[in-house]
Amino acid sequence: MKEIQTVGVYCSSYESLDPVYREAARDLGRELASHHMTMVYGGGALGLMGEVSKSVMAHGGRVIGFMPHHLKKFEDPNWAITELHMVDTMHTRKRLMFEHSDAFMVLPGGFGTLDETFELITWRQLKLHEKPIIFININDYWTPLQELTKNIFNQHFAKPEHKKCFTFVSSISEAFQSLSKAPEPPPHEPVAEWV
């Protein structure tokens, strides 16, 4: 398999979340650091985003964040990470996160998390990349989404081969096991074209 050196992490920036999700976020940060994988994320200091990034840093790892300037009105930037880049737009953030990540892990999150993750799935469906996309189903949070995706395939709104575009796992440890089984992408991996 291709060596995974950087992992894009998508998750909630909200503060009022069940402690089980915060604990999982801290566990993910610790495991990223212990596997010597750099975390790439949206640059926030709050919610699960903050928990994962702070945990990576606390355990001696590296974190790269990309935050659009306008988001400072809604969430605090995390200036205590390895690199924080303030960028012009959400589209720029998405592009840079994609370019800097070898794989993606998705903790529980809301509409923003779904937006960014489904864009990655669509790009993979269109063969713009072969990077692993892993939903970590903490506390059965992603189970309804997993059922929806099964229905999409059962009703023929996606081809059976597109099932390999993403994976659901039930724990942090399973996420890293899944990464270890990911196939190596083609020698000249296609790069997404940006509008």
Q: Domains in the chain, please, with CATH?
A: 6-180 (3.40.50.450)
CB 18 within 8 A of CB 43: no
Residue 141's pLDDT band, with cuts at 50, 70 and 90, is very high
Q: What is the mean pLDDT of residues 95-124?
A: 97
Residue 5's pLDDT band, with cuts at 50, 70 and 90, is very high
pLDDT score for 190 = 46
What digits encode the pLDDT tens for the residues 23-74? 999 999 999 999 999 999 999 999 999 999 999 999 999 999 999 999 888 8
What digits encode the pLDDT tens for the residues 147-188? 999 999 999 999 999 999 999 999 999 999 999 876 655 444
21, burial (CB in 10 Å: exposed 0-12, middle 13-18, buried 19+): buried
In whole angstroms, give the CA distance from residue 87 to residue 64. Answer: 13
Mean pLDDT, the chain, whole residue set: 92
Q: 0.85 cut: is pTM over it? A: yes
* 8 bridge partner residues: 40, 104
Contacts of 68 (CB under 8 A, 6+ apart): 86, 87, 88, 89, 90, 92, 93
Percent of the chain with pLDDT over 90: 87
Helix (H), strand (E), coil (C) string for the chain: CCCCCEEEEECCCCCCCCHHHHHHHHHHHHHHHHCCCEEEECCECCHHHHHHHHHHHHCCCCEEEEEEHHHHHCCCECCCCCEEEEECCHHHHHHHHHHHCCEEEECCCCHHHHHHHHHHHHHHHCCCCCCCEEEECHHHCCHHHHHHHHHHHHCCCCCHHHHHHCEEECCHHHHHHHHHCCCCCCCCCCCCCCC
pLDDT at 137 over 50: yes
pLDDT at 2 over 70: no
